[in-house]
Structure 1
């Protein structure tokens, strides 16, 4: 088997005080040139690199792109350097823990996609008895679990610079444990307990006996297995219910009380609560957790509705990262290339709005179902797509994920404003996700503006979980920028499929305006506009 030509960071994320290191694979004992880029600026260039681990020393906080070149071939990766490991969440998953499992593919995926959080889905013995199965057991749905494998996965994920978050349902007990908790049941109008299928029954998550039990279970799992935190799950219903003693429960309030209780019991743990279909994001986002996570279902079926979910979450958060669980069922119903195009447009929408997607996991899987065991094995083409797009996300982090970024489309674009806009000769531009148009969004970012251009030409609708057609080209775009006295606009652009790092677009001055011609976007193009001091000719000597 031929040796690959490849480059990978040794970790998903680095602190500013530790050396950044990359692992290089160069065939036949050859050498290669390595270039490190930050927002299109070259910050390091090394010649004569050989296979092995290469230390680049500490780097300033930010996102970096890296290019390894040899013999006309180029391999790319990206690196995140962050002083706050909780400021971003690029979330992945594992969902199998059989004895003797090979954990190295998980480590490679964590490094390749820079996944700084991994959800350990359904690792526990039972939902209300997490650690009661001994060293090896079958979970509630008969999947084999070895705690030795769980521990090895935890260590492996952590060694790759990520965090291991154990899955825990916050208000569910199975038939074997239900006798202990039925006095706290959430009841349907007919008096039966709300349930998930016939194997889980739901109770008030804020009931004090349950909350005390639940937090002890989480603490035991932390000390025994080494989890960095927990993914706190719910099912989206009921929203209000009575308990057997006649008390009325506002479940949104109970969820907040539960998050507060878990935080008090586990102050150092990384906590992620699942707002199923946006319920109740408006109440839980300000709670003491480390991300705003929303699992979407109908009516959130369009790209525009995904954008709206993200915007609502960002409006009520405390600057935590926003993560959307958008399961790409399309891989089970369409050919791989049409499904990849759907995934690309989903990522373009979420990334351009400052959110990430829970999608990839294990070593080669994507999520197509809320029961993560039913996942989809991807081929090399899909793996390459994900690597390109996650590299792009990390490399341009400051223009995409900074919590201070704000949408200014309505203040700068359009005829009334006439400050910053883009047009195509043969394609419409819209500030909404409309089929047959280029969806344009302008944001204020540190140092300037970022313009996001999502190409919806050739699409008959904007469903995010449906087969998508190959995008049609809108042709070149004409960017027009109102000038500020004493400055000249600088325009750079990048595209995860066609131009991975920012490159310059020539700018022409036309009176009060400057224009730049941009190549057509594939699915998503990022344009970075800044103002640079104008070069003023020196005043002639008298």
Structure 2
């Protein structure tokens, strides 16, 4: 007998809600006395532990418990499940879960795009998304038309001719809710099909040569300004989607036009969409709330435009779809940190599509896997979330989600789960709004508060170097090490022939004013993210005394957290 899988019953829990950890087993005919234990930890502290006897043919055990005295807005937990035979440990698996006041404190965004008749009564996609702890799901191209979201019949053809079922859409919403996920309806803020445009040409946006703006000669772009009838029309369509059962709207735009001409009331006027997006977002929230609903709103700031106006709008998170010239790992970090300056009370999601997984890339699958791990490490260590996973182990490769690639490597699926387990388990060190980023002021150059030895280090993401991110929050110093040693290209969306060169025995000297209570190391690449206590000593420093410790191994991403007297 061995443990087959371990996962929580929900993608995320609310304070006071019962937590369920499910352990499944591969049953054999082995003889012996089996027991299984479940240990729940917050960082290094054990909060709960229990043990159950296991009968030979038990295929599933559910551990149920409540976490008491959870006074924080969000809190992550690690779970270790161990199988014993005749009191000897023979197998272990890990997972994690979190408890938050709201989904928007830790928005792990995923997608669905298949709503065919064959998907009826099939919840395997949501089951798997739950194992990744995806708690917000975008339903992409679920609708009848861009200008008329709900179809006139149960079965319908979408704008690109896919034959879909609205009954399946509804069922997938119900499945998402079962796992504690928010179901978000895709809706383009200014898109309509030709038949609607022909009837409402005065509502469209035009180029300076008098031709209409469109996308691939299929979707026509309408004027979202308050004076245009389209403004109220699309908001009313969003409300219909909420009434249908969705929890919110993914408000999409295409990154163009940035400026256009309208002909409202037979008067031509230049429209600057950077300002009008904010009005549309705010009006959408106000209208839907007046009708008795509390919608989740996510707006797509395509390639960071116009982040300065929409970040503070009445949307719940900041969402950025990444395109060139934001090509490097450093660009991903810059997008996240810049967005946090505009909206310090909102989490940041990057839609960074992994083109190396697409067929057109024509590279070995391992190159795409290596690139994806590097991107996740970069985004997560920078304090952002990543829209990447959906359907049944699908990975997004482009902006049209139905062209996703399905992963079939159990090894890589396990690696992806380790990374998502990690960001849930340690979300307080990654996503707390009170975290201060000291990366460019505490290490590198003239900065000597944090000094690293053993290879090349840099506070910037540079080729053939270890990237050091230095952060802090009350009671903790946090260090992220992201390894680019041996990586020849710093472009995030290119396949990587090899993983970074493993670095051993990194010496760190850290100036800490507070008294230190402990130093811990955790990595999604090592031992399923379990924390390791590191020995440290006090050493002289030019500004007093510092602590010195050794990080034994760095593969891709290590996180060190120093516990201080607060």
- Name the TM-score class by shorter chain: over 0.9
Question: Residues of 1 paired with 2:134 and 2:53: CA distance?
Answer: 26
Q: C-alpha distance in 1, partners of 2:420/2:328?
A: 22
Q: Which residue of 2 aligns with 1:537?
A: none
CA distance in 2, matches of 1:532, 1:392: 25
Whether the aligned pair in 1 keeps the contact of 2:344 and 2:433 (CA below 8 Å) is no
Asked if the contact 1:489/1:514 (under 8 Å) is kept, the reply is no
Say if 1:389 and 1:79 are closer, same or farther in 2 by CA, change over 3 A. Answer: same
Structure 2: how far apart are the matches of 1:235 and 1:496?
35
- Deviation sequence 1:79-100 (CA, Å, 0-9, x none): 0101223212100000010114
Q: Distance in 1 between matches of 2:445 and 2:564?
A: 22
- 2:344 maps to 1:331: no
Q: Could you tell me how far 1:473 is from its partner in structure 2?
A: 2.0
Q: TM-score, normalised by structure 2?
A: 0.90
Check conservation: 1:211, 1:261, Cα contact below 8 A.
Answer: no
Q: CA RMSD in A?
A: 1.8
State how far apart, in whole Å, the 2-side matches of 1:395 and 1:524 are: 15
Structure 1, unaligned stretches of length 5 or more? 534-542
Q: 1:6 to 1:31 in 2, by over 3 A?
A: farther
* SS class of match (1:157): helix
1:19-98 pair list within 5 angstroms: 19-28=18-27, 30-48=34-52, 50=54, 51-59=60-68, 60=70, 61-70=74-83, 71-98=89-116
Quote the offset at 1:493 in angstroms.
0.6
How many equivalent residue pairs? 528
Give the alignment partner of residue 360 of structure 1, picking from 368, 385, 389. 389
Instruction: Note the residue ranges of structure 2 that are not aligned, 5 or more in a row.
Output: 29-33, 55-59, 84-88
Could you tell me how far apart the structure 2 residues matched to 1:248 and 1:525 are? 50
**Counterpart Cα distance in 1 of 2:441 and 2:151:** 58
1:522 aligned partner:
555
Q: How far is 1:417 from its partner?
A: 4.1
Give the Å deviation of 1:3: 8.0
Task: Output aligned runs, 1:201-280, within 5 Å.
Answer: 201-207=220-226, 208-224=228-244, 226-244=245-263, 245-267=267-289, 268-280=294-306
CA distances 1:293-328 after superposition (whole Å, capped 9, x unpaired): 000100011100111111111110151111000000
TM-score, with structure 1 as normaliser: 0.94
Please state whether the residue corresponding to 1:227 is helix, strand or coil. Answer: coil
Match of 1:460 in 2: 488
- Match of 1:519, SS state, is strand
Please say if residues 24 and 61 of structure 2, whose CA atoms lie closer than 8 Å, have aligned partners that are also in contact. yes
Q: Provide the C-alpha distance between the structure 1 equivalents of 2:516 and 2:188, rounded to a whole number of angstroms.
A: 55
Q: Deviations over 1:63-110 (max 9, x none)?
A: 001111114221111101012232121000000101141532222123
Q: 1:1-39: per-residue Cα shift (whole Å, max 9, x none)?
A: x98621110001111111111111133394311111111
Secondary structure in 1 aligned to 2:80? strand
For structure 1, which segment, 275-284 or 84-93, has the greater mean C-alpha deviation from structure 2 after superposition? Answer: 84-93
Distance 1:441 1:73, change over 3 A: same
1:135 has 2:154 as partner: yes
Matched residue SS, 1:31: strand
Match of 2:312 among 274, 286, 296: 286
1:174 paired to 2:193 = yes
* Within-5 A mapping of 1:311-460: 311-332=337-358, 333=361, 334-379=363-408, 380-414=410-444, 416-424=446-454, 427-460=455-488
Residue range with higher mean Cα deviation, 312-321 or 204-213: 204-213
> What is the distance in 2 between the residues matched to 1:92 and 1:309?
20
- With 135-144 and 244-253 compared, the bigger mean Cα shift is at 244-253
State the 1:410 CA deviation: 3.2
Give the Cα–Cα distance (whole angstroms) in 2 for the partners of residues 182 and 392 of structure 1. 51
Q: Name the CA distance, whole Å, in 2 between partners of 1:414 and 1:431.
A: 6
- Structure 1: distance between partners of 2:385 and 2:201: 38
CA contact (8 A) 1:489 1:507 kept: no
Q: Secondary structure at the match of 2:375?
A: helix
Q: CA 1:222–1:415 in 2, change beyond 3 Å: closer, same or farther?
A: closer
SS in 1 for 2:82: strand
* Aligned counterparts of 2:474 and 2:99: Cα–Cα separation in 1: 17
1: CA distance, partners of 2:185 / 2:516: 51
